[in-house]
Chain A
Amino acid sequence: MMDRYSLWQTVFIYCCIFIFLAFMLLPFVEMFMTSLRPMSHLFRSPYQFWSDDLSFEAYSDIWETVPLLSRYILNSIFIAASVTAITMLFVIPAAYAYARLSFPFKTASLGMFLAVNMFTGAVLLIPLYRVLRTLGMLNTYWAMIVPGVAFLIPTGIWLLRSYLEKIPKELEEAAFVDGASRLYTLRRVVLPLAVPGLIVVSVAVFIGAYAQQFLFAITFNQVREYQPLPAGLFEFVGYQEVVWNQMMAAALIGVLPVLLLFLFLQKYLIAGLTAGAVKE
């Protein structure tokens, strides 16, 4: 049939997939291998692909070398979770308005939200620095949460809107006919039905928030205790003696929360994110 491949074609496809995935996963493999090697062994030239004294020692040593490591990871999770919660508070009502209601300047205002995606924090850092200073938020968790929320609201609205559009309108209309107010309908009819969509959008926002912390953290926060993991680790790169195997171990530990979350929900996430790419 059409989708059948000859043996050689299959072999060829597998080879290409292997090369493609090798490129995608190479840094992870290298990070893992590096984290297993003892420090003395790392700095051995010429390069050795395999050594027989691999151990997980770095994974236990790292907690002593970087006493704040667990703090960094918790900071990362805390900041990302706060960003997600606040973002969703703003996103849910707005997404509902764009999915269901018709009102003047609907397209224009949605366009304005999406235009935010054009800028990254880096362009707005200078005045943002001043805004945060005026609000007294510099060197606090807020310095990393507030800008994070602003840059995730547009994506959140966009994603959640397409979910809400799929909920049958008849249910809301039935609630209206029974005399329920708009807000009551939103709270008691629409939101319970949208729970799967809310979870997917929240996870997408969480991953985004976990990923974008670096820039805001190194710019708006000097307090080491508040630093998220990427910024905390980057500080060690600048040191004279970088303990690379432990660094890599720390990086891999720090990646684990989002990676697990993603693996768990990847099917729904991918479908949700690419909904706009597929015409129905």
Chain B
Amino acid sequence: MAKTAISQQKSALSETAFAWLLIAPAMLFILVIVAWPLLETIRLSFTDANLGGESYVGTKNYEDLLSSRKFSQTVSRTFYWMFFSVMLKLILGLIGACLLNANVKGKGLFRVLVMPPWVIPVAIGCIGWLWLYNGHFGILAGIGQRLGILDGPFEFLAYKNSAFWSAIVTDVWVGTPMVTLFFLAAMQGVPVDLYEAAYIDGASRWYRFRRITIPQIFPVIVSMMLLSAIWTFNSFEVIWILTEGGPRSATTTLIVDTYKTAIANFKFGKGAARAVVIVVLLSLFSLFYLLVLGWLNKRMGSK
């Protein structure tokens, strides 16, 4: 008896050691390439680092940011951008998933055709959009003029408002396939007997959608909301390729601002302070999400 207990303990110990041995390489890599730079970013944000060198400046970078009207505009613009983009992605994703879930001929083909925007490099898709938005020769301006909505060539990316919404449309285009795919998978996981029971009771299609589909896939909706929010918040390539943050900063989100400050203008310290703001905002955001998710689980579990 005692002998087996000891040998069990021994094997448990070696299991721990073995497990960490297996994880160690990946963990070390992440520590060097992600965790250490993250700490370094925090340190740099308290310096005036640039190409010439660096010296400690305390919280000056943050004070500058706090007192800068431009920066607070950038922050609110980022949340604007995130809110609209995520909402549109979720709504379109839900509609798309319902359509692709419909029992019609050719659904297999339709499901494949939704995916290309997600599969190809974002940068290449954006180059395509760049041409679409061309005022003189792009198809959007072309259709607009043909239909009489526009009375002449219209440069979508040249005006503040239209550039902002054009960037949102492109970002939604990039993000929707993934959301659609996850919603579709979740919908297919809903037990069919639920629908059959409701159908026999005479529930309409809309009622079944509202009372069965939505509650059943709700956890996936919440997860996709967070994931899309993080991706949208971090979305850099779409804006950089379409407008580089212009015209007159109309599409400058936090991430673009950070990139411009740090990489394009070599103000590493100031850029680092902006990066830290991003990290803090994202962490708060995730924390909030986890709280909501925990609360939801508790509420749904107790039912």
Contacts and interface: CB of A to CB of B under 8 A. Distances in A.
Interface of A: 2-3, 5, 10, 13-14, 16-17, 20-21, 23-28, 30-31, 33-34, 42-49, 89-91, 93-94, 96-98, 101-104, 106, 109, 112-113, 116-120, 122-131, 146-147, 149-151, 153-154, 157, 182, 207, 210-215, 219, 229-231, 233-234, 237, 244, 247-248, 251, 254-255, 258-259, 262-263, 266, 270, 273-274, 277-279
Contact of A233 (B18, B127, B132): B127
A36 B80 CA distance: 38
B104 A10 contact: yes
16 contacts: A20-B92, A21-B113, A24-B173, A27-B125, A43-B136, A45-B136, A124-B275, A126-B40, A127-B36, A127-B38, A182-B14, A237-B241, A262-B119, A263-B112, A266-B115, A278-B186
A90 B279 CA distance: 26
Query: Which secondary structure characterizes the binding site on chain A?
Result: helix
Interface stretch (B61-69, B258-266, B293-301): B258-266
Nearest to B45: A126
Nearest to A273: B181
B19 A101 contact: yes
Interface string B179-210: 00110111011000001100100000000000
Given A126-B272, A131-B37, A153 B173 contact: no
B22 A93 contact: yes
A129 to B, nearest CB: 8
A230 B116 CA distance: 16
Nearest to A147: B33
Instruction: State which size class the interface on B falls in.
Output: 35 or more
Contacts of B96: 20
Contact of A113 (B16, B30, B124): B30
Contacts of A248: 127-128, 131
A230 B123 CA distance: 6
A230 B110 CA distance: 27
B259 A125 contact: yes
B170 to A, nearest CB: 9
B141 interface: yes
A266 B177 CA distance: 13
Given A233-B124, A237-B241, A120 B236 contact: yes
B116 A25 contact: yes
B158 interface: no
Nearest to B255: A122
Contacts of A116: 30, 34
B124 A255 contact: yes
Nearest to B192: A2
Contact of B130 (A45, A210, A237, A273): A237
B57 interface: no
A129 B263 CA distance: 9
